[in-house]
Structures are given as C-alpha cells and as structure tokens.
Amino acid sequence: MTHVFAKLRIRGNSNKYRKVLSTKDDIYSNIEYLIIDAVSYNPGAKLDSGEWFMIPEFSKQRFSIDITSGAWETVDYDSLKKEEYGNIDFLFAKNDNGIFFQRVTKAKLVRKKHIWEFGGKFRYVPDAGVLALNDYPDAIYVPQKDLLYFQRFETASMIFKGMEILYREATDQEVKVFLSNSFITLMDGFETDKVKKTNRKLIAQAVDQFSNMKQEDREKIFSYIKEYCPNLSVEDQQFAISSNKDLKMLLYGIGQRFYTTPVGDEQRVANSTITLNF
C-alpha cells in the first residue's frame, strides 16, 4: 500500500501536512530499479546517467525535516481540501521501501477544464486540478538505511530547507580573506567584486580543504599547481591571479583536479570529481 501526502505552503506553527490518497498501485518503481548507482554528495561531482547522490545519516543533518527524522504520525493529518490545492509545496509517497518526494511548482497547480477518460468512457470536468507525477521522484529517503538520494541539488534543497550549506558560495568577506593569502599575488586590478559565482563556490570548498590541511601538504599542493600551471607561478610559493580563469585554475589545483594520463602522458583537468570507495 502506498500513502500519498502533501506539504502545504502555509505560515505559522499549524500542521502543514495533509492526506491525499492511498492506493494499492505502485506510484514509483522499486528503489533498486530507480537507483542504478549512488555516490556520496560532492558539490564538484557530476552524475552519469542513472546515478544518484546520497547523504548518509540524513536524519542527523540539521536540514532533515520531521518526515525524515521520525517525528511524524500519519494519523495526525487531515485530508487535503479543495481550497488548499493551490498551496501544495511538495508531495511525498510512503510505502514499505521508503518515502518518495516530488516538488510541486505553482505552474503545475493551475486548475483547467479537462476531458477525462475513465475505463474507455469520457467525462467533461469544468474545474479540475491535475498533478502530474514524474517517473523519477526528486528525492528518496530510505529510513532503514537513513539515506537520502537525489539527483538535482537545486530541487532537493527546495524540499529540505537549509541544505544549501552543502553547496554554498563564499561570502565577500571569505573571498577577500582568501585572495589576501600570502600565496596569491593579485594583478591587473583583479579583486573581490570581480570574482564570479562559479569561483565563489570553489573558494568555499578550498577554504574547507585548507582548514584541514597541514603545512607540508599545502607545500605539496603548491608544487603540484606549479607543475601543471607554470604560467601562474611568479616566485617562491606565489601565484599571479589576474582573471577568473587564473583563479579557477588555482582553485582546481587546490582541489587536485589535474592529472596525467598513464598512456600518452597527456595533462588534463577534471571538471567533475567523485571519491572512489571500493
């Protein structure tokens, strides 16, 4: 049995959840079929077809909601009323395998005239609200494993508010502090307000990486960057940054994205990285 619920866009502390329906049909395919492979979420990673990101111990995350934290009872939910239809924020379907989430945009909540087909017969409905369900949910939570799966961070973060901390941009202050590091020499008027969005995200990652790195490891990183980006090196352990392109290459170096192919000795840069866990 699959039970479908809706979370409403309403303010205050009142119950935001409603019962929609229950059905013996499988609304979504089995998780084993939907998720071919999964990797731990990494802001710098890009998924291949069929892959999903996952976040372990999700119920312990600060952005876990009551539904994924075990603090909810379906018996407490009232049925969805017609006048509440336009306030649906997202749907979630619960069965024995897990909880399947789908965000509902306001564009999908338009009420229109429809001609419905029921068992070979047709019926005109002058005022119908239709919610189309996607073949793939926006997120899947498996309570038995305490795992959240998702493919598009932007959509998942609209359901789980606060999730942005996993994929944040560096603030102006953080960018300013980063650019003031002794290993960076700014050239040609390049400064904080010229740093683009993509590099701000990379800086946020670099700050986290550097905070957990020993000085000897930093020196190894600097030598590694000089090997692959000799044009950035000026003297000692300093790098000249005069553009967003220069900054991006420096940040790629800090993220250890440069590599040389074993056959052909071709130097390359990885636009996406995933940690292998064999």
In tens, the pLDDT along 78-108 reads 899 988 888 899 999 999 889 999 999 876 6
Q: Chain centroid to CA 225: how far?
A: 29
Distance CA 183, CA 91 (A): 49
Q: What is the mean pLDDT of residues 63-70?
A: 90
- Asked if residues 252 and 269 have their Cβ atoms less than 8 Å apart, the reply is yes
pLDDT of residue 110: 64
pLDDT exceeds 70 at position 46: yes
pTM: 0.70
Annotated domain spans of the chain: 2-162, 172-269
Average pLDDT value for the chain: 87
Q: Tell me, what's the pLDDT at 113?
A: 73
pLDDT digits (tens, 9 = 90+) for 202-259: 998 888 778 778 889 999 999 999 999 999 988 777 999 999 999 999 999 998 999 9
Distance CA 270, CA 248 (A): 12
Q: What percent of the chain has pLDDT over 90?
A: 51
Over residues 15-21, mean pLDDT = 89
Query: Which residue, among 69, 80, 115, 60, has the nearest Cα to 3 in the 3D structure?
Result: 80
What is the model's pLDDT at position 157? 92
